[in-house]
Structure 1
Amino acid sequence: MADAYAITLRCHDGDAARFRRVLAEIAGPSRAEEGNVVFETHQAPDDENAFFVYESYRDEAAYEAHLATPWFKRVEEELFPALADRAVQRYVTIDAAR
């Protein structure tokens, strides 16, 4: 079973390069976390201010641990002030055995 998070981010005009740089720099450490299954970052090809992050973790506790990492704190400090919009959706694995 895993928890997946679909995160959409919209930055203000002029902040796209910073978003690309920071998201690229935190990808490696995020993927190396013990409970991480997937960490992928995307940018819309037709809208430089639109980003999508897909993350999957072993369980909700692993995601909570991710939120406490220095690289996520960096996102809070460097990117959150430049956000025009942010949405986080959580999904859980469908398991017929449950």
Structure 2
Amino acid sequence: MIGVIATMKVKPDQTAPFEAAMRELVAATRANEPGVTTYHFCRSQKEPTTYVVMEMYADQATLDSHMASEWFRNAGPKLMPCLAERPVLEKFDPLEP
């Protein structure tokens, strides 16, 4: 298993289109990627323009497949103009099953 937390800071006037595009990505990921065991889109309670996606992948091949998926690639042009800065991706090794 591989865990990923993607943190994204969004321009204040772009939260609605960002959330809409992310919801499409989440729905496509959940519907088409059985090796993605967790894919949760969340907004910070303290900073309403900061979002995270909490992700768990069966293995590196599953993560690579997600990053190469049509829905992930199509989300980029919708999401990137909404961002205030580059996303931060952090990978984790689970310590329990």
Determine if the TM-score, normalized by the shorter chain, exceeds 0.5.
yes
Structure 1 counterpart SS, 2:84: strand
Match in the other structure for 1:27? 26
* RMSD of aligned Cα (Å): 1.5
Q: Which amino acid aligns with 1:93?
A: P
Identity fraction in percent? 22
Runs ≥4 in structure 1, deviation > 4 angstroms? none
Tell me, what secondary structure is at the counterpart of 1:84? coil
Aligned to 1:64: 64
- Any idea what the Cα deviations from partners look like across 1:7-61, whole Å, max 9, x if unmatched? 1100112110011111112212212303111000011234331111001110111
TM superposition score normalised by structure 2: 0.86
Q: CA offsets per residue over residues 61-91 of structure 1, 9 Å max, x none?
A: 1011001112111221111232222110001
Contact 2:9 2:83 in 1 (8 A): yes
Instruction: List gaps (5 residues or longer) in structure 2.
Output: none
- Letter paired with 1:27: V
- For 2:28 and 2:48, how far apart are their aligned partners in 1? 24
Give secondary structure in 2 for the equivalent of 1:45. Answer: coil
Structure 1: tracts of 5 or more residues without a match: none
TM-score using structure 1 length? 0.85
Greater per-residue strand proportion: 1
State the 1:94 CA deviation. Answer: 2.6
1:9 matches 2:8: yes
Q: Distance in 2 between matches of 1:51 and 1:72?
A: 17
The separation in 2 between residues aligned to 1:27 and 1:82, in whole angstroms, is 17
Partners of 2:49 and 2:23 lie apart in 1 by: 15
Q: How far, CA to CA, are the matches of 1:12 and 1:46 in structure 2?
A: 15
